[in-house]
């Protein structure tokens, strides 16, 4: 089982979010899965320029690291998104990646995969950011198993660390369990199913302009 962790802090794994992600990954490793960490800090993911080429060809026109990240997302069994809270949202690095995933979202190409979420903040608002990241996961067609978020207490420290780290390791283990047993999340399925009807309808409406996505849905409409 392969779990891909994507961290979007400008401090990479050296910051608070990296510290919390370490514990989630410990849970993943203890469950026997393989891990790979991608730090957006060291990669080049430019903002989307709305050229629509991905909808037409299935490949982004911007020549940077996005396509290789996309391939890793497509082949992993599960993934972890980790971001600090920047003004009630994810960092610009993570948002750039989200936007570049627009083609994957139109195809809901990660349907059947599972994700876990990690967030840290200076002083709170953690649930808002975790909810936003969960919404992104669901628009890809994937299930969000859960998330851990916390304000910091200092550099790479948190209030009530014992409980937080314990929950983080449990989340990593839970991600692997959900993948192994193909666990269902009925409350997310309702959103995913509505969103799927919307994306399928959108691509059908644009079928003369977006041949890649038209063909993708023609092959996968019955899934």
Contacting residues toward ligand FMN, per CB under 6 A: 9, 11, 15-18, 84-88, 120-125, 152
- Spatial separation of the C-alpha atoms in residues 90 and 68, rounded to whole Å: 21
121 versus 143: smaller Cβ distance to ligand FMN? 121
- Spatial separation of the C-alpha atoms in residues 83 and 134, rounded to whole Å: 12
- Spatial separation of the C-alpha atoms in residues 92 and 41, rounded to whole Å: 11
12 versus 211: smaller Cβ distance to ligand FMN? 12
**Residue 57 beta carbon to ligand FMN: minimum distance, rounded to whole angstroms:** 35
Strands (DSSP E) contained in the chain are 2-7, 34-39, 78-84, 114-121, 143-151
**Residue 4 beta carbon to ligand FMN: minimum distance, rounded to whole angstroms:** 18
**Residue 40 beta carbon to ligand FMN: minimum distance, rounded to whole angstroms:** 11
Reference 2, options 32, 23, 22; nearest CA is 32
Q: What is the DSSP string of 84-123?
A: E-BTTB--HHHHHHHHHTHHHHHHTTTTT-EEEEEEEESS
**Residue 203 beta carbon to ligand FMN: minimum distance, rounded to whole angstroms:** 35
103 versus 149: smaller Cβ distance to ligand FMN? 149
3-class secondary-structure state, position 167: helix
52 versus 161: smaller Cβ distance to ligand FMN? 161
* Nearest residue to ligand FMN, scored by beta-carbon proximity: 15
| DSSP secondary structure letter of residue 182 | T
**Residue 153 beta carbon to ligand FMN: minimum distance, rounded to whole angstroms:** 10
11 versus 135: smaller Cβ distance to ligand FMN? 11
Go through 5-31 and write b for each residue having 16 or more CB atoms within 10 A of its CB, e for each that does not: bbbbbebebebbbbbbbbbbbbbbbeb
Does residue 114 contact residue 141 with C-beta atoms inside 8 Å? no
20 versus 54: smaller Cβ distance to ligand FMN? 20
**Residue 77 beta carbon to ligand FMN: minimum distance, rounded to whole angstroms:** 25
Q: Which residues contact 161 (CB under 8 A, 6 or more apart)?
A: 153
């Amino acid at each position: 089982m392969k779990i891909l962790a994507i961290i979007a802090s400008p401090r990479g794994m050296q910051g608070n979010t990296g510290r919390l992600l370490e514990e989630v990954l410990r849970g993943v490793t203890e469950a026997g899965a393989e891990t790979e960490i991608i730090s957006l800090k060291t990669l080049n993911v430019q903002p989307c320029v709305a050229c629509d080429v991905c909808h037409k060809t299935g490949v982004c026109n911007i020549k940077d690291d996005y396509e290789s990240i996309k391939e890793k997302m497509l082949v992993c069994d599960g993934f972890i998104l980790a971001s600090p809270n920047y003004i009630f949202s994810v960092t610009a690095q993570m948002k750039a990646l989200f936007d570049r995933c627009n083609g994957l979202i139109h195809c809901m190409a990660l349907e059947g995969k599972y994700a876990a979420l990690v967030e840290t903040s200076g002083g709170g608002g953690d649930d808002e950011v975790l909810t936003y990241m969960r919404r992104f996961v669901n628009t890809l067609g994937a299930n969000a198993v859960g998330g851990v978020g916390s304000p910091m207490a200092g550099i790479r420290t948190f209030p009530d660390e014992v409980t937080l780290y314990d929950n983080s390791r449990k989340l990593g283990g839970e991600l692997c369990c959900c993948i192994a047993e193909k666990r269902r999340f009925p409350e997310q399925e309702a959103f995913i199913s509505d969103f799927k009807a919307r994306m399928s309808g959108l691509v059908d409406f644009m079928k003369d302009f977006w041949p890649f996505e038209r063909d993708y849905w023609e092959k996968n409409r019955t899934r």
